[in-house]
Structure 1
Amino acid sequence: MNQIPRPALLLGLAGLIPFLWSALTELSPQTGDWAAGVLGPRFVGPYVGLAYGMVILSFMSGVLWGFSTRLSGREAATGYALSVIPALWAFFFVGGGPTSAAIYLAAGFAGLLALDWTFWTQGLAPGWWMRLRVLLTSVVLACLAVTIFL
């Protein structure tokens, strides 16, 4: 089954909203100013994208952990060890100013895509997994690029 199930696609796309909002409020100062007044400063600009990105890297660690439950023995131990890398990456490396945090976060998402591919090639993820992950990761990286290069 290579077609992405509709609920997975829709929820995955919905999960992009904070990244897209972050990029929009950086690219449009008027929108950012309005949103800061209504929502508060942590819900605009790079702050919302960086905070949410750390949450998503941690969430994806849990997804990979779930895939690892299909393994046993030494392979399971390796899968579990690999699955915690995105969360630990976010914890240890994503910090400092917005530009450096966005660079490390982008690297974390690129690394996560490599882990997704590893689990997928082992048959631990659904057949449609990489189609979804490449789509979502591409948008996330584009949004983070706004913070990195703006």
Structure 2
Amino acid sequence: MTQIPRSALILGLAGVIPFAWGALTLLSDAASQWGVDVLGPRFVGPYVQLSYGMVILSFMSGVLWGFATKARGAQAATGYILSVIPALWAFFMTGGGPVSAGMNLIFGFLGLLVLDFSFWKWNLAPSWWMHLRLLLTTLVVVCLSVGVVL
């Protein structure tokens, strides 16, 4: 594997900010109140984590779809089918309250990591892909876990 390109690393880590912010507002009443006052109530706690998590799982479906375009034949068909799973998971599995939705997002991101590995193993993703995805998935799961535990 090669080193993660700096821009991909920076943008990937920036993408974790809403998850981390949601966790912080669950842990800090002051941060939560500031967030409600300045940003509005849907941008704190589990609300920001769950809505953003749905967006990111859907975005990652698009990334996987892009990887699938590099494949041919049956592997391409398999790639396209697998690529829609994260978006469908986010759509169908994030109802029922913040704890169950948070748990299902955690399962969704862990499942996405399995898909990432598959596309990487098929040489459809960049050589550095799993380094980035392991880091980002770990951070996202830790942040979502705060919402599930509290």
In 1: Cα distance, 2:109 partner to 2:145 partner? 12
Deviations 1:87-124 (A, max 9, x none): 00000111121100000000000000000000001111
- 1:5 aligns to what? 5
In 2: Cα distance, 1:135 partner to 1:75 partner? 27
In 1: Cα distance, 2:116 partner to 2:103 partner? 20
- Could you tell me how far 1:38 is from its partner in structure 2? 1.3
- Could you tell me how far 1:12 is from its partner in structure 2? 0.3
In 2: Cα distance, 1:108 partner to 1:116 partner? 12
Q: Partner amino acid for 1:9?
A: L
In 2: Cα distance, 1:7 partner to 1:31 partner? 29
- 2:30 aligns to what? 30
Moved over 2 A (4+): none
- 1:79 aligns to what? 79
TM value normalised by structure 1: 0.98
- Could you tell me how far 1:75 is from its partner in structure 2? 1.2
Q: Partner amino acid for 1:135?
A: L
**Secondary structure of residue in 1 paired with 2:96:** coil
- 1:39 aligns to what? 39
Seq. identity, %:
67
Q: Mapping of 1:49-88 within 5 angstroms? A: 49-88=49-88
- Could you tell me how far 1:4 is from its partner in structure 2? 0.2
Segments of structure 1 that go 5 or more residues without pairing to the other structure are none
Q: Partner amino acid for 1:22?
A: G
In 2: Cα distance, 1:84 partner to 1:4 partner? 25
TM value normalised by structure 2: 0.98
Q: Partner amino acid for 1:71?
A: A
Say what the alpha-carbon RMSD is for the aligned residues. 0.7
- 1:121 aligns to what? 121
In 2: Cα distance, 1:74 partner to 1:127 partner? 22
**Secondary structure of residue in 1 paired with 2:109:** helix
